[in-house]
Structures are given as C-alpha cells and as structure tokens.
Structure 1
C-alpha cells in the first residue's frame, strides 16, 4: 500500500501540486488521469523520489520515504519497478541485457541466478525468443514489454507506469494494459499508472484519480466515472467518443 498525504510542489513560484492526498492498494491498477500539464508526472516523480515535494509525506507500507534514513530509502527504492514513457532501453544492450541491468546494479546474485530470473521475466511478457535482439530490431510494443520485464525483474512490491500506451496502436495498447493488469493481480503489486488513454480507464481502471490544475477533483471506480457530476472531469471524459456513447 502507498499513502500520499498533502503533497505540495512548486516550481519557480508556481504551485503544481496543491496538497494531494490518497492511498493506493496492492493488487489493484490505480490510474492517475488528467490533461497535459495537470501535475500527473510531477506527482509520480514525487512518489518515486525523482522530485522531492515541498511538503507532505509518501508512505510505503507505513514507511515514510522522505523522512527515513538512507538505508530505509534505499530499501524502498529496491522494491520499486518503473516503466518509463519511452521505454528508456539502452540501445547498445540486447533485450536480455536491458532486463538484467537492475540485477547487475543492485544485487550480488550469481550469473546463473540472474540469467534464470531474466529468462523468467522475458517468458512472462512473451519475449523469450527476442532475448538476443537489439532494441532497434524490435517493435514499439515489444520495447514496452521489455520495459515491463525490466520493471519486474527485481520482483517489486510497487510498479509505476508512465504513459505505458504512448505511441502504440490501439490493439497493442490493449495487450500492454492486459499484461500490466495480469502482473499486478498475479504478484499482488501496488501499481500506479499515469495515463490519458480513456480505453485504459474503461478496461483496467480499478481505482481512478483525476487531477486538474494540481488539485485532486475526483477519485473512484471505473463503474462510477461516467456518472460524475464534476464539470472538469465531464469535459475531460466526454471529449472521448466511446465514453459519450456509453453515457447515453
């Protein structure tokens, strides 16, 4: 479980996050949605330690990330897996070398232990046949799956996905959504997904969190979202044709 309490962040005097509070349960796909520039990515960066909030706390199973000693912070970081928006693969490394990278950097496992874990993660995302290929030799959807394999190679308790469907065609997007949801439920991970893809909201959104100009204006389940009376959320949702049809 992750708890965020009164997270505030400003840049150059402009308040980007205005006291955000919520909690995210394990085994669920928690989606943070909103338009461009609403603070979604800044909130994610505050949660994973890339940006320090000006105020507020981030708790991982009760452990205060920003008010803990370095050993505790490092322990929490090792429990995180992150899927970056662009995949962030190393062009000079093979698929299996990309997946193995966190194990090389953060563990003292033997070569055989690393190889076994990498093979398992690639098999889990359906890419065992691509292990020796370079990123330039695989499709965008395959790169996202490599990113997922790398994100779970350390057997994380917490998985963060920044726009996992960015740049993908609709069919591949659905497959990536399904894979993330399956992994979340199978391993009981606390998963947080930053997205503006409304198909993702409808398909895998279990807990949904709407940000608007740095404020949390709505939070609830996907079954409730089309019934919202929040004007800003209505405008965001019903710009999507599929949701307009569902709401009729």
Structure 2
C-alpha cells in the first residue's frame, strides 16, 4: 500500500500541487487522472522522490520514504517498477539488454538466473523470441511491452505507469491496459497509473483520483465516476462524444 499525505509542490513561486492526500491499495489498479498541466506527473515525481515536495509525506507500507536516509531509500526503490512515458528504452541496447538492465544494476544474480528472469518477463508480456531485436525494430506497442517487462523484472511491490497509452492506437491501448491490470492482480502489486485516457479509467480503474489545477476534486471508482455531477470532472469525462451518449 502507498499513502500520500498533504503533498504540496511549487516551482518558481507557482503552486502546482495543493495538499494532495490519497491511498493506493495493494492488488488494485489506481489511476490519477486530469487534463494536461493539472499536476499528475509532478505528483508521480514526488512519489518517486524525483522532486521534493515542500510539504507532505509518502509512505510505502508504512515506511516514510521521503524522510529516509539515501541508503534506506534504496531498499524501497528496489521494490519499485516504473514504466516511463514513451517506454524510455535504451536505443543502443537490445530488447533483452533493456529488460536485463535493472538486474545488472541492482542484483548479484548469476548470468543464468538473469537470463531465466528476463525470458520469463518477456514471455509474460507476449514478447518471447524478441530479445535480440533493437528498439528501432519494434512497434510502439511492443516498446511499451518491453517497458512493462523491464518494470516487473525485479518483481516489484509497487508499479508506476506514466501515460502508458500515449501514442498508441485504440486497440493496442486496450491490450496495454489489460496487461497492466493482469500483472497487478497476478503479482499483487500496488499499481499507480498516470493517465488522461477515459477508456483506461472505465476499464481498469479500481480507484481513481481526479486532479484539477493541482487539487484533488474527487476520488472513487469506475462505476461512480459517470454519476458525480462535479462540473470540472464532468467536463473532463464527457468531453468524449461516445461517453456523452453513454451518460444518456
């Protein structure tokens, strides 16, 4: 479980986040949604300790992450898997080498152990037999799958996905959503997805946090989000014509 408490952040005197609280539960797919510029990615960076909030705390299963010494933070970071926006693969490394990278950096596994783990993760995301390919030789959807394989190779307790569907066609995006949901349940991870894709919200949103102008305006699940009648949330949700028809 991940808890965020009173997270506030500003840049150059401009307030980006205003006292954000939330609980992301184990084994559930939690989504942070909102329009561009609402603070979603800044919140993720605070949770990962990539930027320092002026106020607030992030707890990983009760561990006060932001207050820990750097050496202690490494233990938490080993439990994290991150799918960065765009995949963020190393262009000069093969698919296999990209997935293997965390194991080389953070473990003392033997070569045979690493090989078994990498091949297992590639198989899990449907990419068996692709290890020798370069990132330039695979599609956008496959790059996201490689990124997911790399994110889960350390068997993480916490999985973060930043805009996993950006740049993908609708059918591929649905497959990526399904894969994230399946992995969350299979590995019993605490999964946090940053997105503005309403298809993702309705299909895999066990818990949803809606940010607007740096404030949390609503939280709930995919069943209740269509019935809130909060103006800002309605404008975000029903900007899609098909969803307006669904609302009736």
Structure-2 separation of matches of 1:244 and 1:151: 35
Deviation at 1:72, TM superposition (A): 2.0
**Aligned residue number for residue 178 of structure 1:** 178
Q: How many residues align?
A: 248
**Partner of 2:47: helix, strand, or coil?**
helix
**Aligned residue number for residue 162 of structure 1:** 162
The runs of 5 or more residues in structure 2 that have no matched partner are none
**Partner of 1:160: helix, strand, or coil?**
strand
The Cα offsets for residues 49-92 of structure 1, whole Å up to 9 and x where unpaired, read as 11111110000000000111223211001100000011110111
**Aligned residue number for residue 146 of structure 1:** 146
Are 1:245 and 2:239 matched, yes or no?
no
Structure-1 separation of matches of 2:124 and 2:80: 18
Query: Which residues in structure 2 correspond to 1:100-119 (within 5 Å)?
Result: 100-119=100-119
Deviation at 1:230, TM superposition (A): 1.0
The Cα offsets for residues 109-154 of structure 1, whole Å up to 9 and x where unpaired, read as 1111100100000000010121110001000000000000000000
**Partner of 1:226: helix, strand, or coil?**
helix
Structure-2 separation of matches of 1:50 and 1:242: 37
Structure-2 separation of matches of 1:183 and 1:16: 32
Structure-1 separation of matches of 2:77 and 2:242: 38
The runs of 5 or more residues in structure 1 that have no matched partner are none
Structure-1 separation of matches of 2:110 and 2:220: 44
Q: Note the aligned Cα RMSD (angstroms).
A: 0.6
**Partner of 1:128: helix, strand, or coil?**
coil
**Aligned residue number for residue 203 of structure 1:** 203
Structure-2 separation of matches of 1:148 and 1:165: 12
Structure-2 separation of matches of 1:85 and 1:71: 27
Are 1:10 and 2:10 matched, yes or no?
yes
**Aligned residue number for residue 213 of structure 1:** 213
**Aligned residue number for residue 232 of structure 1:** 232
Normalised TM-score (structure 1) = 0.99
**Aligned residue number for residue 191 of structure 1:** 191
**Partner of 2:93: helix, strand, or coil?**
coil
